[in-house]
Every structure is written in C-alpha cells, then in structure tokens.
Amino acid sequence: MHIPDNFLSPPVWATLDCVAAPAVALVSRRAQKSADTNQLSLLGVLGAFVFAAQMVNFPVGIGTSGHLVGGALLACIVGPWAAALAMTSILTIQALVFQDGGVLALGANVINMALLGVLAGYLPARIFAPTRWKSFGVFLGGTCSVLLSGVLALSELLISGIHMPAAMIELSLLVFAVNAMIEGAITVSALRAMERLKPGVSLLGLSNNGFIEHPPLPPKRKLRNIAAAIAAASVLLAGFGVALSSRWPDGIDRLAIRFGVPLYTRIVHSPLSDYYVRELGTNWASRAVAGLLGLVCIYVVCGIAGLLFSKTRRSYS
C-alpha cells in the first residue's frame, strides 16, 4: 500500500507533498482541541500496535500479500484527528527509518492512508454507531479505508504515466478489495477484544463526539490494563508475528515488478532498511529486533504528541 519513490512523476509527488503539509498542520490543531485525555493516553501504544501489525503481511492473492493499515481502528478509538496524526507519524518513521514508502512520495502516502483513508474509515463507523449495526459500520469503515487508499494510489500511478492494461487494473482492484475486507474483519475483532478488556474504550473516538453512548470510563490510571495488553500484543507481533509474515510482495510492489519500476533507489540510507538490522543480516532475529526498535520509535513519537496535546487541553480549560 505504501508508494515507493520512482513511481510518481515529479509534478504528482510535489503537488501531493504541498497539499499534505498544511493538511497535517490543520489535523494537529483539530486533534489538540477535540481529543480528550483518555484518548491521548492511549495514542502511544495504539500507534505502536498499528506499526507492528503493518509489519505482518498475509496472502491476499497468488503471489501478492497485504497487511493491516489500521486507520479505521485508530479512528474508532481516538477519533479521526488524532488517528490521522498517529498514522502520519507511523508513515513518516516508516519512510525515513525503514525505507518503507518513498520519502518524496510521503505526501501521497499521508494523503492516501493517514488523511483520506482515516476519514473513509471513520465515517461509516460514525453513521452506524448509534444502531445495532455498529459492528457492520466498523467493518465497512475498515473496508472503505483500505479500498479508498488503494484506489487513490492506483490513480496517482496512472496520472504519473505508468500505463497499465485494463486486466492489470482490474486485478489490482481485486487485490485491494480482498485486503480491504480482511482489514474490516480484523478491525471488528480487535475492537471487540478491547471492549472485553475495558467496556467503553473500543468506540471512544465516536462516543466523545456524541454519536454513541457508553458507560462512564474509569479514571485514566485504570486504563493501564488495556494499554499493557495492547503493548504486549505489539511486542508479540513485532517480535514473533514477523516470523509468520508472508514474503510475497504487496500490491504496489507487485506492480513494480510487473512494470520494471526500481523499488530500491534510496534517497536516505538507514541501518534498519526493509525492517532488518543491517549488522544482523536478513534473518528472523534481525527483523524482530528492527521491529522492536520501531515500536519504541513510534511509541515515543505518538506518546509525546499525546502528552503535549493533553497539556494544551488543560491550559485551554
């Protein structure tokens, strides 16, 4: 789902970078004003969980894999603004530290997955939240989030002059659709698991905006149980789940192989490229260590953002 460099033409990636920068600034301001301290206290561990889940690829077709994107999951828990900010942080660290997604194409990836993708995941969940169909709304949100992100990425490639036959476009859309439905199912399952751990947390991003009623949440200190559970799941995914990850390329990488677009022209170089610690080689242990280091990076960045926003909200009140 991440667009590497060399795919987009300079006018396309430059335009999207210019649009993404002020959009992220606006999202940051809205996150400061809308998210409460219960949401923000979970931002670090949730960001780390999504990062870890994105490392684990699963087959979605012959020779093609996919992975959880997580935009709808974050939006349901922390609201759309904080979710978009967390996704932006994840995508930025992935591009700069792990070379997953292009540096020049970062604006495109942010718009596709962190901004419009999160919004597409949030709106269906919000619409169905007050009804008995709220699980369907979450599933639809996860599905729409990934499907829209995939369609946007494909459109940007076509605008950039990568000519694909109709059969290849149809196959790509089918792969994105399968990945999207798996995303929806995982999002529903993850939120149900969180609801069993701490009622009222799983759709906190909707309840705070008046779209759904939930039991009163416990004090912030009592949210530590769910934060600890999410952190443990993140460590398991990054440390051990990667051993089960599919080695097939994802949809965008598959297109690169098909059309001979170079994937590995680096603008920046990192010892953690492709989620491996260079000094440890390309084995499972190397990937696990890289994943755990990534968890720490994401947790620190998102945790600091949550802390700063919490202090800003207290100063307003």
Q: What is the DSSP string of 8-61?
A: S-HHHHHHHHHHHHHHHHHHHHHHHHH--HHHHHTHHHHHHHHHHHHH--EEEE
Q: Phi first, then psi: what are they for 143, rounded to 5°?
A: -65, -50
Instruction: List the domain boundaries for the chain.
Output: 10-316
pLDDT at 245: 87
Q: Answer whether 84's CB lies under 8 Å from 110's CB.
A: no
Give the contacts of 240 (CB within 8 A, at least 6 positions apart).
288
- What is the predicted pLDDT for the residue at 190? 92
Q: What is the pTM of this model?
A: 0.91
Per-residue pLDDT of the chain (317 residues; tens, 9 = 90+): 789 888 899 999 999 999 999 999 999 988 887 766 667 778 899 999 999 999 999 988 778 898 999 999 999 988 899 999 999 999 999 999 998 988 999 999 999 999 999 999 999 999 998 889 999 999 999 999 999 999 999 999 999 988 888 888 888 899 899 999 999 999 999 999 888 877 767 677 776 544 444 445 555 555 777 888 899 999 999 988 888 888 888 877 777 677 666 655 666 678 898 899 989 998 999 999 999 999 999 999 998 888 877 766 555 45
93 contacts 298 by C-beta, under 8 angstroms: yes
Architecture of the structural domain at 10-316: Orthogonal Bundle (1.10)
pLDDT at site 196: 82
CA distance linking residue 13 with residue 9, whole number of Å:
6
Query: Under the phi-then-psi rule, with left for phi > 0, alpha for psi from -120 to 50, and beta for the rest, what region is 44?
Result: alpha
Q: Crossing angle for the helix pair 134-159 and 10-34, nearest 10 degrees?
A: 150
